[in-house]
Chains A and B, each alone.
Chain A
Amino acid sequence: MNNYDIVIVGGGGAGLTAAIYAARARRKTVVFEHKVTGGQIATTDIVENFPGFPQGVNGFDLAQLFAQQAVKFGAEMRYEGVTSLTARPDGGFRLETSSGEVTARAVIVTAGAEYNKLGVPGEERLTGKGVSYCATCDAAFFANQDVIVVGGGDAALDEGLFVTRYVRSVTIVHRRDQLRASAVLRERAFANPKISFIWDTVVEAIEGADAVEAALLRNVKTGETRRFPTSAVFVFIGQTPSSHLLQGLVDLDAGGHALVDLEMKTSVQGLFVAGDVRTQAARQLVSAAGDGATAAISAERYLNSLEHAQPAK
């Protein structure tokens, strides 16, 4: 029962797409997800850049459709964390999950990435009390208040724009003097009267007794610091790949992403990596889905090659 052809670790855009392809190849397939179906898109209010949805689509709803499609073709979804992955000497893999052990003939790791934390005093203590990593979850609690968003990429602007629906003002604090975010989002943010920017500035501490009251800001060019009153600090300062399962098993790049070739193969036979956890990922839903399909097709080819090399026992 716990022996699978293909085990997929991570139920985001890459993993769920891989599951659709693997299940359609009639491989016994399971997806392990330790948090929310859809991964990062599950908390995205509107996905506007996924082809086929000119009006945009709610990220959580889209993720549910991905999962339904995988399950419809026979993939199993298990909401458990995978704690270890080992390659067996005789081929195949052994995985430990929060509920026990499973085996796989091929593994596709699509574990994605986690949002980075600021790592400053007050952040952990005030998480859930004004420090947030999910604007769509928490923005409504700050109606008519002043908040800050930290970061300068797509996520920071996207979430910052969402927050403006509820709050009185959004101050985007960014450590550089220009934004990494895409042009469409930059234009919208600059045009939004509720959004203002503080450039070349980092958050040094978050203060407040029972809830966030202020952020301590430091200008990286002048060194000047100031206390900036705010009810909330939304943090979107990039991501770290969730590659801990792969450490010591496959080669990682300097940022901790798994090295793969164009077929999503790693240095270990039968082990594939796709989506945000792989090196040089575009970190988009559509590219993650594409990676997932590629990885599943490669896994299927790999299993086929094993079966043809060892004719029926």
Chain B
Amino acid sequence: MAEVRDTTDLTWDADVLKNELPTLVDFWAPWCGPCRMVKPIVEELSEEYAGKVNFYKMNTDDNPQVPSKFGIRSIPSLLIFKNGELAGTIVGFRPKGDLKKRIDEVLA
């Protein structure tokens, strides 16, 4: 089962920017209710897109630098990176179908 691993301010470059595959990062925090709804969906997506897209999650309470660099002021936020560049942003809870559409757009 594909696991959604944690990325941090320290491992960000290696995990996300230098990743050969497109990479989706789920920015969340323990106190955010909708984030807890997004988590299982991201886990499902990580299985469906295994080998095509990498998935990470980042706790915004523990990692202030990356969220601030990307101007994240609302969570859940899902950011998709391709070749080290930001390729898509999804703010707020969205149904799984919407997320797949956005991922497919980036893959296309």
Binding site for B on A (CB under 8 A): 34-38, 42-43, 58-60, 79-81, 98-99, 127-130, 132, 134, 136-138, 140-142, 210-211, 232
Measured between beta carbons, the chain A residues less than 8 angstroms from B61 are: 140
Cβ-defined contact, B33 with A60, below 8 A? yes
Measured between beta carbons, the chain A residues less than 8 angstroms from B32 are: 136-137
The listed residue (A36, A99, A232) touching B34 by CB distance below 8 A is: A36
Q: A43-B33, A98-B97 given. 7 additional CB < 8 A pairs?
A: A34-B95, A35-B95, A36-B37, A138-B73, A141-B60, A141-B73, A211-B71
Cβ-defined contact, B95 with A134, below 8 A? no
Alpha-carbon separation in the docked complex, A43 to B36 (Å): 11
Could you tell me how many residues of chain B have their Cβ less than 8 Å away from some Cβ of chain A? 25
Cβ-defined contact, B34 with A42, below 8 A? yes
Measured between beta carbons, the chain B residues less than 8 angstroms from A210 are: 71
Q: Which partner residue on chain A sits nearest B40 by CB separation?
A: A79
Binding site for A on B (CB under 8 A): 29, 31-37, 60-61, 67, 71-77, 89, 91-93, 95-97
Q: Which partner residue on chain B sits nearest A44 by CB separation?
A: B33
Cβ-defined contact, A129 with B37, below 8 A? no
Measured between beta carbons, the chain A residues less than 8 angstroms from B36 are: 60
Given A36-B93, A79-B95, A140-B29, CB of A128 within 8 Å of CB of B34: no
Alpha-carbon separation in the docked complex, A21 to B102 (Å): 38
Cβ-defined contact, A128 with B74, below 8 A? yes
Alpha-carbon separation in the docked complex, A37 to B91 (Å): 18
Measured between beta carbons, the chain B residues less than 8 angstroms from A137 are: 32-35, 74-76, 92
Across chains A and B, which 3 residue pairs bring their CB atoms closest together, nearest first? A60-B33, A128-B91, A128-B74
The listed residue (B29, B34, B72, B95) touching A80 by CB distance below 8 A is: B95
Alpha-carbon separation in the docked complex, A138 to B97 (Å): 24
CB distance from B25 to the nearest CB of A (A): 15
Alpha-carbon separation in the docked complex, A38 to B33 (Å): 10
A-B contacts, 26 of them at CB < 8 A, read: A34-B95, A35-B93, A36-B34, A42-B37, A43-B33, A60-B36, A81-B95, A127-B74, A127-B91, A128-B73, A128-B74, A128-B77, A128-B89, A129-B74, A130-B73, A134-B34, A134-B74, A137-B33, A137-B92, A140-B31, A140-B60, A141-B67, A141-B72, A141-B73, A141-B74, A211-B73
Q: Which partner residue on chain A sits nearest B28 by CB separation?
A: A137
Alpha-carbon separation in the docked complex, A127 to B29 (Å): 19
Q: Which of A35, A58, A80 has the most CB of B within 10 A?
A: A35
Cβ-defined contact, B74 with A138, below 8 A? yes
CB distance from A42 to the nearest CB of B (A): 5
Q: Which partner residue on chain B sits nearest A98 by CB separation?
A: B97
Q: Which partner residue on chain B sits nearest A36 by CB separation?
A: B37
Given A35-B95, A36-B93, CB of A129 within 8 Å of CB of B73: yes
Measured between beta carbons, the chain A residues less than 8 angstroms from B37 are: 35-37, 42
Alpha-carbon separation in the docked complex, A211 to B71 (Å): 8
Alpha-carbon separation in the docked complex, A60 to B33 (Å): 6
The listed residue (B67, B77, B89, B95) touching A98 by CB distance below 8 A is: B95
Measured between beta carbons, the chain A residues less than 8 angstroms from B33 are: 36, 38, 42-43, 58-60, 136-137
Alpha-carbon separation in the docked complex, A98 to B89 (Å): 22
Measured between beta carbons, the chain A residues less than 8 angstroms from B60 are: 140-141
